[in-house]
Structure 1
């Protein structure tokens, strides 16, 4: 009985903290809102699986050593199972399990209905509330309801930005707000290349008059931004032009709505995304992938 007690104690000392961490992270994601939930989701997808793989490697070595020395392996086998569970979260990271970020939107969440940010007929490349129509975005907290907008022609495979319909189109302010960030010094990259210099690329960020929340418009053309920090804009004012800067496969406009100031968080993606609706078009307020939107400016 003494040996069993020692083994049990050893299992508890090594693995109980790991079990508590896993449970705490999932409980935070599923039952809270705001930055704690966002940070927990990033930990589940970008930290836990790699810790699990490292722990699995170590645990397997310890099992082999214990077998060679004819020692008890119960605690090590439990660690193998636990680290395997941690490592399996890599399936979320690689989108082999396509799970949207489980946002909990309460009655106090600001609802923002904005004007369409482009003058011409636009195709929603990605947009909506599910992985089927918005996979690159719904899996991350800040971009939970983000849109990628393109124009015909698009998805052509051309390496020339000029061959894409949305290239150099004017980007209009969708709301009344104040510019909190304006940057356009990053070169546009070749469509389809991997010459990515940043995630957001050239951008304009607004704090919205109506809600006090933030609107982010990314991937603008180099040297095209027409506003500066501190400027107040109204719907329809020109902010810049669509480019192909940042993490992008072809020219498009990325736009999303979030609660936290992107200039104050550890990274613009570490924020709580909020729903974004549009008015003044012929489409649904939250248009989905594949929708052709005709603005009624």
Structure 2
């Protein structure tokens, strides 16, 4: 987890700060030089804005970087607009140009992958969102591994991990607390996302303090619902011990309470895991007609 936090610090603080500062203080030899530096900074900010999970330090921080980039972009343009367009023909400047083009290609491809993950051509099923009390944030979701690690697992493809934000845009009080009560989503009521029948349920596994995880029982406490007229199984996982209100064979209706969010099973922290499965493969989910991806909000 320390490695994951360090990665977030790099993507959400160090990279945007470095490229924005470089754009502001750069000594440009030509307008082409400025254009390349500006484009590179834009691609880095865009990639971090869309692909990084922003609920750790603050959801609002991502907008602060965009605003700062716009201000610096305007300031730097005022310095570069009187320059000639072409670079002087020197080896050092050609090397700088080559490095910029290489980095633009890399971060450009990152952005393409992210934007491709915002939609899917596969047929999606329509569900009701299973949480109703607050600002909910999608931590894992979308159609590419840069947005959703579940894409690597065929049966969980298109799965969503959902958190809840407090007034500061953070999912918890603290960076990674051990106390479950410090996570905003812990013990929130879960509602059935569809009308159907409970085909499996488990209710007896303990809630674990982060970073502990139960690798032998990955779903933790869960319910599986066979949605009426969809021939699709919905899994809602990591529920609170003793909170599940239904059992196998029960009929449920859309919006019916079924239990509470917990932290049981193979999980890093309290959250809702939900995915739809048909014939052993994950299928896309839409809530109110929307295909949710990382950094989506629902309220």
Does TM, normalized by the shorter one, top 0.5? yes
Q: Secondary structure at the match of 1:162?
A: helix
Segments of 5+ residues of structure 1 without an aligned counterpart are 1-98, 100-106, 261-270
Q: Are 2:141 and 1:127 aligned?
A: yes
8 Å Cα contact 2:213-2:265 kept in structure 1: no
1:287 Cα deviation from its structure 2 partner:
1.1
Cα contact 1:123–1:291 (8 A) shared by 2: yes
Instruction: Give the secondary structure class of the aligned counterpart of 1:138.
Output: helix
Aligned to 2:43: none
Aligned equivalent of 1:169: 188
Q: 1:212 to 1:183 in 2, by over 3 A?
A: same
Structure 2 distance, partners of 1:170, 1:183, is 17
**Any conservation in 2 of the 1:207–1:213 contact (CA below 8 Å)?**
yes
Q: 2:287 aligns with which of 278, 283, 286?
A: 278
Q: CA deviation at 1:272?
A: 0.9
Check the 8 A contact 1:189/1:196 in 2, yes or no.
Answer: no
Q: Offset of 1:212 from its aligned partner?
A: 1.3
Paired with 2:290 and 2:284, the residues of 1 have a C-alpha distance of: 11
For the pair 1:193 / 2:212, whether they are aligned, the reply is yes
1:149 and 1:259 mapped to 2: Cα distance?
A: 21
> Are the aligned partners of 1:220 and 1:243 in contact in 2 as well (CA < 8 Å)?
yes
Deviation string for 1:141-170 (max 9, x for gaps)? 011100000112426300010000000000
Q: Distance in 1 between matches of 2:214 and 2:248?
A: 28
Q: Paired residue for 1:104?
A: none
1:150 is aligned to 163
Superposed displacement of residue 197, structure 1: 4.3
Identify the match of residue 298 of structure 2 among 278, 293, 297: 293
Structure 2 gaps, min length 5:
1-112, 114-120
Cα deviation 1:203-260 (Å, max 9, x = unaligned): 0000010211110000000000001111111111011000000110100010000013
- 1:5-44 CA distances to partner (integer Å, 9 max, x unpaired)? xxxxxxxxxxxxxxxxxxxxxxxxxxxxxxxxxxxxxxxx
- On the 8 A contact 2:238/2:263 being kept in 1, the answer is yes
Q: Which SS does the other structure have where 1:151 is aligned?
A: strand
Change beyond 3 A, Cα 1:166–1:159: same
SS of match in other structure, 1:132: coil
246, 254, 258: which one aligns with 2:265: 246
Moved over 3 A (4+): 194-197
* Aligned twin of 2:230: 211
1:182 and 1:228 in contact (8 A); partners too = yes
Tell me: CA distance 1:114–1:157, structure 2 relative to 1, closer, same or farther (3 Å).
same
1:179 aligns with 2:179: no
Deviation of the 1:111 alpha carbon: 3.4
Could you tell me how far apart the structure 1 residues matched to 2:123 and 2:196 are?
A: 15
| Deviation at residue 190 of structure 1 after TM alignment | 0.8
Is the 8 Å Cα contact of residues 114 and 276 (structure 1) preserved in structure 2?
Answer: yes
Give the drift of 1:193. 2.0
3-state secondary structure, aligned to 1:133: coil
- The C-alpha deviation readout for 1:96-141, integer Å capped at 9, x for no partner, is xxx9xxxxxxx9x763100000012200010111112112x00010
Does 2:164 match 1:112? no
Does the CA-based 8 Å contact 1:110-1:211 persist in structure 2?
A: no
Aligned residues: 175
